[in-house]
Each structure stands twice: as structure tokens, then as C-alpha cells.
Structure 1
Amino acid sequence: MTQLLNPPPSADSNQILCYFANNTSQVQIARISNIPGWFFERVVFPRQRLMFQAPPNACLEIYTAEMVSSLLCDRINCTRLQVESLTSVGSFC
């Protein structure tokens, strides 16, 4: 399942479309916390895809969900997740 989410509140229209896929067998938490005045956090289930808009300087943190806590396992600059259009990420089936 793919989620399309609203862009962050911003007067700046310089948002980029980003794509992240959880290709693991574990539940992951995707979080952006480095943008002042905006906090983004979503649960991404195994083999689920996530599309979102973010400022180019945003950094997506990926946490692996554990029973009692979460472990930061990756930090990705959103410019590395940028896509040009929905057709550039392939089939959503």
C-alpha cells in the first residue's frame, strides 16, 4: 500500500516529492524532525511505500520498531529520495 501525504505547512513552495519503500520484514517508523515548526512521523509496514513532500533540507530518519523501543537505523537526506513524478517510482500494484 502506498500513502500519499499532505506537504508540510510552509510559505516556501520549494517542496520536493519523495519516495521511501520499506523493503524489510520489520515495521519501521519514518520521521522528519529537523524542520522547525513541523514534525513528520509515519509507521511504514513491511513492503509498504510512502510518498511525501518535504523541503529539500529535510532529513528522513528510519527507526526499526522494537517491542519496547525504537532503534535509529538510517538517516537519509530527502534530496536522495526525490522523484520527478509518480510514474518514475514504478507500479503501485
Structure 2
Amino acid sequence: MNSQTTADQKASAAKLSQSTSDRQSLCCYINTTSHIQVIRLVSKSHTNWQRVIFPGERLLFETDSESKLEILVNEGVSSLVNCQKLLVKLSA
């Protein structure tokens, strides 16, 4: 029974370390332009995430810490923003 408890503890620790490395963060993007934008999340966990954002619109989304947000304004014009810059700061 003691060896079962140890195996369960190891499995729990492995899950905890995996969930810590894959932790999702809350981000916010605001389209401050007067143009409609298409944004695309570039990350390991989101393979096909894309949204249309209207002028003045705010979008909250969750992603991992290594993600980048690609912003497409016109055909061929785009910029890449590190999602670390879009993190929502929660106050207690």
C-alpha cells in the first residue's frame, strides 16, 4: 500500500509540473485603429485560432506565455506582438 501511495504522489507531481509549464495567462488586445483587423494566435497550443476585430473592440483570451499575436490589417501588412505585453494584471 505504501508503494501505491508513492506512485500516486509521483503521478500527481508529474501532472503538477506539466500544468505549471502549460499554464494559460489572460491577455487583452484592443484594436485602437479605425480599421478592421484580423488577429491570429501563433502558439503551440492554438493551431487555428483567428478572430476579426472591429475598431475600438476589446478581446480577452487565454494563451501560454510563449504565444505571439499576429495582427493583419491589409493584405500583406502584419505585425507580431508578444503576448507577454498583453497580459491582464489582476489585483487582489
CA apart distance, 1:47:
0.6
Question: As a proportion of its length, which structure holds more strand?
Answer: 1
Asked whether the 8 Å contact 2:43–2:64 carries over to 1, the reply is no
Over the matched positions of the two proteins, sequence identity in percent amounts to: 31
Instruction: Give the structure, 1 or 2, with the largest relative contact order (CA under 8 Å, sep 6 or more).
Output: 1
Query: RMSD over aligned Cα, in angstroms?
Result: 2.1
| Candidates 19, 43, 48, aligned match of 2:28 | 19
Equivalent in 79, 82, 86 of residue 77 of structure 1: 82
Name the structure 2 match of 1:44: 53
**SS state of the match for residue 87, structure 2?**
coil
In 2, the alpha carbon distance for the partners of 1:74 and 1:31 equals 11
**Distance in structure 2 (CA, Å) of the matches to 1:47 and 1:21:** 7
Q: Deviations over 1:5-32 (max 9, x none)?
A: xxxxxx7451110011001110001101
Unpaired runs of 5+ residues, structure 2, are 1-17
- For normalisation by structure 2, the TM-score amounts to 0.67
| Distance of 2:50 and 2:78 partners within structure 1 | 15
Runs of 4+ in 1 over 6 A off after TM superposition: none
Task: Tell me the matched-pair count.
Answer: 72
Give the TM-score of the pair, scaled to structure 1: 0.67
More helix by share: 2
Mark the runs of 5 or more structure 1 residues left unpaired by the alignment: 1-10, 88-93
